[in-house]
């Protein structure tokens, strides 16, 4: 699996976990559930891959994360940049 598809897969798993996180409010989980729909769509074959798809997924997840969890995060302008939420999730 190429890097872009792997990253989309990781973002999809992250959104799934956040939408099921009992530490978040119902409305916060709903934001991640909506984001999950986008990332799941873009990570499934034959749509998986492509910088446009990953850019859309990153933007949606980044917006959700900044509005709920990491308000101080400057966000990502490039899909290759480090994501604080993803880093925390993968280190668990």
- Give the pLDDT of residue 48: 63
In tens, the pLDDT along 14-60 reads 999 999 999 999 999 999 999 899 888 888 767 666 778 888 888 88
Predicted TM-score (pTM) of the model is 0.78
* Mean pLDDT (the chain, rounded): 83
Instruction: Quickly count: other Cβ atoms within 10 Å of residue 71's Cβ.
Output: 8
CA dist 9 and 44 (Å) reads 8
- The helix (H) or strand (E) run that includes residue 72 is none
Tell me: pLDDT of 63 over 60: yes
Tokens describing residue 6? 């792997």
């Amino acid at each position: 699996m190429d890097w872009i598809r792997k990253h989309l897969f990781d973002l999809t798993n992250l959104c799934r976990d956040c939408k099921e996180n009992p530490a978040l409010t119902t409305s916060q989980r709903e934001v991640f559930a909506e984001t999950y729909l986008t990332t799941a769509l873009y990570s499934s074959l034959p749509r998986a891959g492509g910088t446009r798809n990953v850019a859309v997924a990153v933007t949606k997840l980044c917006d959700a994360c900044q509005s709920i969890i990491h308000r101080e995060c400057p966000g990502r302008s490039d899909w290759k940049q480090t994501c604080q939420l993803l880093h925390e999730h993968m280190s668990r």
